[in-house]
Structure 1
Amino acid sequence: MAQGEVIITPVSGKADRKAFIDLAYRINASDPHWVPPLRMEAEELITPGKNPFFEHADVQLFLARRGDAVVGRISAHIDHLAIAMDPSQGMGPGTGNWGLLEAEDETVANALIARAEEWLRGKGMNRVLAPISMSIWEEPGQLVKGFDHPPTVMMGHQPERYNDYIKALGYQPAKTLNTYELDITKEFPPLIQRIIASGEKNPKIRIRQVERSKFDQEAALILDILNDAWSDNWGFVPFSDTEIMYAGKKFKPIVREDLIMVAEYEGEPVAFMMTLPDLNEAIKPMGGKMLPFNWAKLLLWLRKPKVRTMRVPLMGVRKRLQSSRLASQLAFMMIEYIRRNAIREYGATRGEIGWILEDNQGMNAIAEAIDSHINKVYVIYDKPL
């Protein structure tokens, strides 16, 4: 273990921000399964005015140094939309967060987490949920299973040792998040096929793909269903209007009409499923850099993605239909239609669904019914301050 006193200082100015971003690339360079984010994306995440999270959150970034060497980093933040939620949903008054942890060793990690906790206490927080980097909608949780393969787009990947550091500081699991992997080249079990066929014969059911020409309307519809479907979920935090516009702009380059389905029942949109081609497959070899030629490679890939993996980051069924047979039937139909398109149009062979809360019985049952299995597990930890 390295020797020398660890000094923690708040991030201040461009040089510190650059050091904060650079550290992740250095610490994770030897991990073959870590996906270096594009540097412009990493910078955007931590910059007020670029990331709308800052409009409803207090954020403080910290760097750890030994002498002149940067050896660690962490973010501490309070999401005011999250603390306004009912405590029964996981967040609520007095709950702060930390995330974006990178540390050369346990001594550094301990010092950084202690400083983040101190900052949160100073802001009146009495509890911490972590790691969350930085919004619950971005990269929540510490990876505890699935270190042997890269994460898909918008999923985190941290060293296993961080989990040991966190637990040793008295943090207890608050919630487990699972992702499910499946071989999409295989047809679903006969029972599921019969459920899908039955739905196709039902004149009240219509499964349609979104229309890119009506992108804003479709995005608003999906978010309306999402807010209704997820509103009682653990950890739910509503999107702000600015975040909705930001997400729409960010997703637009990788959105494909035939990979996002809306289910209508008696003419009313009641469910949706969003699937994204795994952008991480394209950016992993780039090392975070767009220059000199990676920008051209990325543009070419975006024109017609060919990927191994498709990720289902979001799906939802209106609350009044949840736990019904119809909800499961619509989900199976949307998954099947997207599965066919993913194979035919994009050459995909693998799907990943998640994250899904460990106690979301409906979604876990759907995932298991189509012969998928848990491939990654993340834990969000809880600690009183």
Structure 2
Amino acid sequence: MNGGYGMVFRKGNSRTTDTDDLGTAPRPWVASALAPFQEQLAALARPGETASLAVITDTHYKSGFDATYYGINGLQHVTEFMANVANQPGIDAYAHLGDLIDGSESGPADQQHLREMVAALSQPVGKPFYIAKGNHDDNDKFDEHQVARRASFQANTFADIVFQADYRQPQLQRFSQRYGVAWLDVGPVRFLFINTSDVPYRLNRFGIKKYDVKLNLAVRQGQMAEIIQILQMSGDKAIIVCGHGNLLKANHKDGLHHNGRTLHELFRAFNLQARGTVATHGRNADFQINLPFDFTRVRNARITAYVCGHRHTEQTFVDHDIRYLLLNCSALMGRNHQLTTKYNARWDRRYGETNEYAGYALVADPAARQLSVLGYGAATPLRQFAMWFPEPRN
């Protein structure tokens, strides 16, 4: 089944926009609004038979209230995601795919925002989770607007707050804690989490970063070596890869600034059970890759999908049997802001309406050989795609 669905944009039901209460506790009306989503999830997800991942992305949490744009709503959306989506019986695990914060406030303020987001996502719902690094999560947006432009985060600020919380979970498998790579198996489905903000931290003598992480999405050699290791032990798995940035664009050009296409070609080689070397010959030594791989002994396995956020839109396309799924931002994006994407402008998103937020659940169903993508808020309610699954071993 392909994604032949009708896209319907409708203004959400209006709710209170009282700005006196800037608390972030789950709002009762949001719970009511998400009841149809929960019912659809219950109909599609069967614990022990399907593999389901709840996903939220691009919350852009920052201080203060805004009725049509980024603000404290970023944290509120996460608390409501946890209370109404991640805790549902049909969900096996959940993920935030990056840009937790807007990265536009002082270093201490945004470090506190990261801690608050991790605390919200670490609520004891009894399920494993993964939090990805987005290109806004190193606070470069704040740095670029300061006269001195000095780095407000240290090299390991994000990792010490966020990746540490990821790796604290015994259910989340990994080879190391160096790159932000991890995987989680649910039956025949392997969710592989990668880091598309894999950028070296280098300062000049004035304390200014050589690389603005916000403007340099990348995957480097060390991370790719771990990905190869994981893939070489991924027999009998249908693999869904999740990250912040899209490796490819819809026109099939590189979606990252460094090595997006290279990693996609490695995934193609895996699906072909190939052996060889993945190599780049760019001028920048920081992002060069030269690694051998051998997938000839991997049986009954395939990378089926790549799921990400970053672009603040919904989009899907296929490149050599790998389906790309770009998910919309949870952050409030009203129509009259310069950075608002066309997709979100069409939703005319506003605080206190049911299009204020956005989130998803992925349900991989081996029996139906189908991937269902359920959305709530400013997202398509249901899309379904054919999905490859490994044949059961006798």
TM-score, normalised with respect to structure 2: 0.29
Question: Using CA pairs below 8 Å that are at least 6 residues apart, which structure has the higher relative contact order?
Answer: 1
Q: Which has the higher strand share?
A: 1
| Larger Cα-atom Rg | 1
